[in-house]
Amino acid sequence: MSSNVIYAQFGRGLAPVDRSPDAELPEGAERLLGFAESEGWPIHPTVLVDTVRLVYLASQPFERGASAIRQEPTLGARALRLANGPAYAAELPCMHVGAAIERLGERGVSTLLVGVACTRLYAGASEAELAKRLVVRSAAVAFASEMILRQRGAPSADALLAGCLHDIGWTCGLALAEQHAAHLPQRWRGDRSARIAGVAAVHAQLGAVASRAWGLSAPIADAIADHHAGVHADEAPLTQAIALATRCVDQLAVAGDPAPLGFDTANLDNEAGPELRSDVWTELQRLGLAPERRCAVRPIRSDRRRSAKKIVRAS
């Protein structure tokens, strides 16, 4: 299979969807695009504004994010839960938000804000299990793309937001499919796999149209549109980073064995190699999103330095 083949969900055992330029779209997929362009988007504006705010804070100096966590009870509760979790194993528990923030440190605070942004953004997806996977996948792509651009010395301010939003077409597509069920193929109503495959085929386009409708920048919309299109040297840096991050995360989805995803990884450069996957896995473990059965992390030291953290693969 070529890199134009994607999978309808994040994980193993799902039917492939051919995204090559000459591939026929599944029945009903084009209608979803038509509904999207003519009838608006089934996501409340406040959710998008909240996402942008949290991601913006994640890229700001430590004290800005820490201040938001102190002021918002839901963020403070999340900070306490993470600081007392296995990734930050310590002899004494954190009893108040200030101590939790200190234990999380600069990177941990940034990671928490991105994780909460993704959780709020995808919580409304009509497929509960898919919503959980979208949270994990979008957070991982956000972390990976930001790391890639930082390694290249390129501006990375939009990487976290583009990564968080790169799969928003799933949420929009599934909601539109529900709203317009009567005008979509009948088998979509009784066959979940057909509905998922239909949304999968156009979710990148749906996400790009949505991001433009919301007034987001052209580089972000382009990166969302092309996140499954492969990595091309003539693309903008953000588009390259999101595409490369997507491939990196697809490899994480099968625990380092990319073959079932249909990607030719022989030509992937070192940016999507084991070190990046290890770093992304560390960030997911900070959020409690990485399955313990596949990976164990040494306790993360409480400091504000962005030092590399070691990953110990479970045998």
Among 264, 160, 258, 166, which residue's Cα sits nearest to residue 207?
A: 166
On the question of pLDDT at 3 being above 60, the answer is no
Beta bridge partners of 43: none
Give the max Cα distance, the chain: 59
* ∠ Cα 266 270 275 (to 5°): 115
Bigger pLDDT: 168 vs 126: 168
pLDDT for 174 equals 86
What pLDDT, in 10s, does the model give residues 182-218? 888 888 877 788 888 888 888 999 998 888 888 889 9
Question: Given a cut of 70, is residue 51 above it in pLDDT?
Answer: yes
Tell me whether residue 73 is exposed, middle or buried, using C-beta atoms within 10 angstroms of its C-beta: 0 to 12, 13 to 18, 19 or more: exposed
* pLDDT higher than threshold 60 for residue 265: no
Q: pTM of the predicted model, to two decimals?
A: 0.79
The DSSP annotation for 13-56 comes to: S--EEE-STTPPPPTTHHHHHHHHHHH--SS-HHHHHHHHHHHH
Return the higher-pLDDT residue of 262 and 212: 212
Work out the mean pLDDT of the chain and round it to a whole number. Answer: 76
Q: How confident is the model at residue 258 (pLDDT cuts 50, 70, 90)?
A: very low
Burial class (CB in 10 A: 0-12, 13-18, 19+), 308: exposed
Q: Residue 284 pLDDT > 80, yes or no?
A: yes
Residue 310 pLDDT: 33
Mean pLDDT for the stretch of residues 102-125:
90
- Topology, domain 5-10+24-313: Hypothetical protein af1432 (1.10.3210)
Name the more confident of 28 and 237: 237
Q: What percent of the chain has pLDDT over 70?
A: 74
Q: Is the dihedral of CA 229, 231, 233, 239 positive or negative?
A: positive
Of 28-37, 81-90, 215-224, 243-252, give the lowest mean pLDDT range: 28-37
Q: Would the pLDDT of 17 be above 90?
A: no
Lowest mean pLDDT among 16-20, 57-61, 134-138, 147-151: 16-20
All structural domains of the chain with their residue ranges = 5-10+24-313
pLDDT on residue 41: 63
By mean pLDDT, which of 68-77, 237-246, 257-266 is the weakest?
A: 257-266
Amino acid letter for position 144: A
Strands (E), the chain: 5-7, 16-18, 295-297, 311-313
Q: What is the pLDDT of residues 142-178, one digit of tens each?
A: 999 999 998 888 877 799 999 999 999 998 888 888 8
> Looking at residue 125, what is its pLDDT?
66
User: Strand, helix or coil at 283?
Assistant: helix
Position 297 scores a pLDDT of: 35
- Cα angle for residues 132, 133, 136 (degrees, 5° grid): 95
